[in-house]
Amino acid sequence: MTCHEAGRLLDAYVDDELGPSESASLRAHVASCVVCGRRVADREWLGRLVRSVPYYEAPDRVRTAIATARAQPRFGPRVLAWVAAVMVAVSLGGASAARVVRARHALDAASSIADDVVGSHVRALMADHLLDVRSTDQHTVKPWFLGKLDFSPPVADLGALGFPLVGGRLDYVAGRQAASLIYQRRQHTINLFIWPESSGTTPTDVRTVRGFHVRHWSREAMSFWAVSDLNDRELAEFAHALQQ
């Protein structure tokens, strides 16, 4: 089973609507595929969120008031008050549903960006196009981006912490231009993608995609995505240093 085939069945799989054969095949694929495993986990989390939304059953007096209102040619103040209360309850339920939908969209968007970030990292390594400007000096790398991007990416020198800057390049991630700063940790390459944060403050994100560790955070109206085959503990140290 391919990831494309699995993607069409994930919702039915999480809702336990697949037959035994399809369910077993998808279960085997998910067990061996990090990306699809993450998608299943996201959908299961969403299901728990939906089930946690409070359900309020209308009391009998509300049903009676509505039935009475239907039978009467005119609405009295008391009936109108009950109808207004029902409308408020429906509105609150709609707001909860909207929050669930927004959470689902945010999860899908983060997963899509993480996939693109890892793809850009891998392509740069395979094509031997990791650097457009090679320098360990932040005061050389930062000015290099001027005139090439419509924003100025922050460039930090982390050499004293064991993460020396190697250089930078221009990249294109998730439909937008990005600055990519390259750091090293022994023989491991760290790609740090930066672009302006357009959707306000977003939560941090930690995940593994196709064997690469990925960390995301926002700071000072910028979105940061770090990706590397470096172990997660040391990548966390790298991310923490940039957030200070």
Distance separating alpha carbons of residues 235 and 244, to the nearest angstrom: 15
Identify the DSSP state of 192.
E
Res 112: pLDDT: 83
Count the neighbouring beta carbons within 10 Å of the beta carbon of residue 178.
Answer: 24
Answer yes or no: is 46 within a domain: no
**Between 223 and 53, the higher pLDDT residue:** 223
**Those residues with Cβ within 8 angstroms of residue 173's Cβ, 6 or more apart along the chain or in another chain:** 113, 116, 117, 120, 193, 195, 225
For residue 227, give the CATH number of its domain: 3.30.200.100
**Terminal Cα-to-Cα distance of the chain (whole angstroms):** 44
Please report which helix (H) or strand (E) contains residue 23, including its range: helix 20-32
- Average pLDDT over all residues of the chain: 81
Write a three-state SS string for 45-95.
HHHHHHHHCCCCCCCHHHHHHHHHHHHCCCCCHHHHHHHHHHHHHHHHHHH
Q: Is 136 or 14 the better-scoring residue by pLDDT? A: 136
Q: What is the DSSP string of 109-136?
A: HHHHHHHHHHHHHHHHHHTT---SEE-S
Domain-embedded: residue 157: yes
User: Is residue 144 assigned to a domain?
Assistant: yes
Per residue in 56-108, pLDDT (tens digit) is 666 777 677 777 766 665 555 665 565 666 666 555 555 554 455 454 555 55
Mean pLDDT over residues 122-139, rounded? 91
**Is 67 within a domain?**
no
What pLDDT does 15 receive?
84
More confident residue, 196 or 39: 196
Q: Identify the residue with better confidence: 103 or 191.
A: 191
3 backbone dihedrals φ, ψ, rounded to 5°: -65, -35
Is residue 152 within 8 A of residue 139, CB to CB? The reply is no
Query: By the 8 A CB rule, do 90 and 97 touch?
Result: no
Q: What is the pLDDT of residues 38-56, one digit of tens each?
A: 778 777 777 766 666 666 6
Q: What b-and-e string marks burial along 217-234, b requiring 16 or more CB atoms within 10 Å of the CB?
A: bbeeebbbbbbbebeeeb
Percent of the chain beyond pLDDT 70? 76
Task: Please report which confidence band the pLDDT of residue 131 belongs to, taking 50, 70 and 90 as the band edges.
Answer: very high
- Residue 188's domain comprises 128-242
Residue 189 lies in a domain: yes
User: How many domains are contained in the chain?
Assistant: 1
Residue 151: half-sphere exposure toward Cβ, Cα within 13 Å: 18
CA distance 12 to 143: 51
pLDDT at 217 over 90: yes
Instruction: Give the separation between CA 33 and CA 39, rounded to whole angstroms.
Output: 10
Identify which has the larger pLDDT, 3 or 55: 3
